[in-house]
């Protein structure tokens, strides 16, 4: 399989998999995917691609910024994992309601076989003034459930702020 094809498929999965809402702007998925990094390496035998150095991936309104992104496929050709590392890794996307959603963490993992997006390391997800913060935030794409947990590194507690006016606005 040509490296450019593998790269394009992998990036589509990075961006599509990281959308943390069922109301993600649907037109984003038909837009071209652009990736800029200082290095891009593909190991076709190992089904692995690594983007390193100031990685910026965009597709429509979706944007990921990271220091490093690793994409791995299983031997059957299905996506195994996408892991972005950074100080921090940022993700943003405009939802169908026109409001942007943002995330910030040290690691962002997409595990499609488990239907999970995991933010870890000082993880925050926010929209407007409403936010959730914890050491680890998991989002199940299939069930649309989110779970935040913390360890002693951030005082052992998670934090959430909900602005009532933002919850009722469409």
Q: What is the C-alpha to C-alpha distance for residues 170 and 160, in angstroms, rounded to an integer?
A: 21
pLDDT digits (tens, 9 = 90+) for 67-82: 999 988 888 878 788 8
pLDDT tens-place string over residues 98-134: 888 899 999 999 888 888 889 999 999 888 888 888 8
Whether the full predicted model's pTM is greater than 0.85, yes or no, is no
């Amino acid at each position: 399989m040509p490296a450019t094809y593998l790269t394009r498929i992998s990036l589509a999965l990075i961006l599509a998999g990281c959308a943390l809402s069922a109301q993600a702007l649907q037109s984003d998925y038909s837009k071209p995917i652009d990736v800029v990094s200082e290095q891009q390496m593909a190991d076709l035998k190992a089904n692995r691609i690594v983007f390193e150095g100031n990685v910026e991936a965009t597709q429509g309104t979706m944007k990921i910024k990271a220091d490093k992104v690793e994409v791995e496929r299983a031997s059957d050709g299905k996506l195994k994992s996408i892991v972005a590392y950074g100080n921090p890794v940022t993700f943003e996307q405009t939802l169908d309601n026109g409001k942007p959603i943002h995330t910030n963490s040290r690691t962002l993992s997409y595990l499609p076989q488990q239907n999970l997006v995991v933010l870890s390391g000082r993880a925050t997800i926010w929209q407007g003034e409403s936010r959730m913060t914890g050491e680890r935030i998991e989002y199940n794409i299939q069930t649309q459930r989110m779970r935040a947990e913390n360890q002693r590194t951030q005082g052992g507690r998670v934090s959430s702020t909900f602005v009532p006016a933002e919850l009722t606005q469409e």
